[in-house]
Amino acid sequence: MKTTVLIIVLFFSFNLYCQERTNDKIVLNNGSIMFGKIEKIKTDAVEFKESASGLIFEKLKIEIRYIQLTNGNFITFGKGGNEIISRQLPELPELPEIIDSSESTARKLLGLNIGYGTLSMKEVNDDLMDSENLFSSYGFKTKSPDDIDGGLYFEGNFKFGTGNFNFGVCGTYIKSNGEFRYSDAGGLFYETYDVSTFEVLGILEMLLPLNKTNFNFFMQIGGGVGMAKTVYEAEFRVYSTPGNNFKIKMEVDGKYFSGRIKSGVMLNIKRIILEAGVGYRISNAGELKGTYIEGNQKYEDLPITDINGEPITFDFSGFLITAGISFKL
């Protein structure tokens, strides 16, 4: 047991030693310490890339107590912001209690992602195909239905971060539609599905900085609740015998568990982060229930059913490809 503890202590000591030898050390007036690479010294601020997260930060000179460079030199700033470089650290006012040097700068990120998501609407697409097959079996020349394959994906997120991790919450929305239509001189038939879902997820993100660049790889997992909605409409009309015509509309909804895995790459540009990623969404809403309307008749708590009278399930799961932007607050 003592040997294990000793190994752990030596490991962390060696890791801290390597950080100090290979990175510039930035000590702030509030007592916090960060390790990174100085990118640029401006008139009133210093821009640096934090080694732990790979993110680029900017600190005002008045916030910085001193900087220790990898070559051993120290940089302090005079009252006018002028740089003072010395081999020895000059005498400075006492600091408040120093926090753990392994702790990285906290950050807040507000982001927006847009992309495309596939949808696994097998039972919905099968129902549309069943309608097409039924008309074909009677000799009508039909066109293939428009399946539900996917749709535009939108996401807004808010994340907190420290070191190599971000965590926060996001809201996502995806919408699509599918339909089958047939018409001729004797009548018409159509059925349409408009499907959409809004999800709220908690997310955890791990950052993997790419050395000597402004790029980060990231891996993300998330879980939360989804709120699905579907509007179904169908109409059958025979011009010669209008007594057999019908038109129905259903609005159904339901909640379900949603999960997500995602990975990609980030590019840090000062106070902006650009992102591109791919992932997979686990979002099976199952059977949805709601309102059925036909003429003056209205029924509640009914599912949408297929040609055999079996309830249809709605699976919003699928692959995801996105591009996004985040702002450092």
Within a domain: 293: yes
Domain housing 31: 2-86
Looking at the fold, whether 154 and 280 belong to one and the same domain comes out as: yes
Of these ranges, 23-37, 124-138, 209-223, the one predicted with the greatest mean pLDDT is: 124-138
Residue 101 pLDDT exceeds 50: no
Q: Are residues 65 and 185 in the same domain?
A: no
- How far apart CA 202 and CA 200 sit, in angstroms, is 7
pLDDT at 19: 47
Q: Are residues 139 and 252 in the same domain?
A: yes
Q: Does 163 map to a domain?
A: yes
Average pLDDT over residues 17-22: 53
More confident residue, 210 or 305: 305
Pair (296, 148) in one structural domain = yes
As a three-state string, the secondary structure of 91-127 is CCCCCCCCCCCCCCCCEEEEEEEEEEEECCCHHHHHH
Quote the tokens at residue 30: 């509030």
The CA dihedral of 236, 242, 243, 246, to the nearest 10 degrees, is: 20
Domain identity same for 23 and 166: no
- The whole-number pLDDT of residue 210 equals 82
Same-domain check for residues 190 and 304: yes
Average pLDDT of every residue of the chain: 88
Last residue of a domain, one of 86, 121, 148: 86
Work out how many domains the chain is built from and give that number: 2
- Are 127 and 76 contained in the same domain? no
Which pLDDT band, with edges at 50, 70 and 90, does 102 fall under? Answer: very low
Instruction: Point out the domain boundary residue: 55, 86, 117.
Output: 86
How many percent of the chain have pLDDT more than 70?
89
List Cβ<8 Å contacts ≥24 apart for 144-147.
Answer: 145/178, 145/179, 145/180, 146/177, 146/178, 146/179, 146/180, 147/121, 147/178
Q: Tell which wins on pLDDT, 2 or 254.
A: 254
Instruction: Please indicate whether residue 139 or residue 223 has the higher confidence score (pLDDT).
Output: 223
Q: Is residue 313 within 8 Å of residue 274, measured between CB atoms?
A: no
Q: Which CATH number belongs to the domain containing residue 197 in this structure?
A: 2.40.160.20
Higher pLDDT, 329 or 233: 233
Which range has the worst mean pLDDT, 70-79, 258-267, 282-291, 318-327?
70-79
- Reduce the DSSP state of residue 139 to 3 states and report it: coil
Q: Does residue 39 belong to any structural domain of this protein?
A: yes
Residues 28-57: what's their mean pLDDT? 83
Q: What is the DSSP letter of 72?
A: S
Residue 92 has a pLDDT of 75
Mean pLDDT within 3-26: 53
Do residues 61 and 119 both lie within one domain?
no
* Cβ atoms 305, 289 nearer than 8 A: no
Residue 95 in any domain: the answer is no
pLDDT at 198: 98
> Does 96 reside within a domain?
no
pLDDT computed for residue 96 by the predictor: 52
Give 62-67's long-range contacts (Cβ < 8 A, gap of 24+): 62/29, 63/28, 63/29, 63/30, 64/26, 64/27, 64/28, 64/29, 65/27, 65/28, 65/29, 65/92, 65/95, 66/27, 66/92, 67/24, 67/25, 67/26, 67/27, 67/38
Domain match, 147 and 15 both = no
pTM for the model: 0.74
Spatial distance between the Cα atoms of 138 and 132, rounded to a whole number of angstroms = 10
Q: State residue 181's pLDDT score.
A: 96
Taking the C-alpha atoms of residue 225 and residue 139, their distance in angstroms, rounded to an integer, is: 46
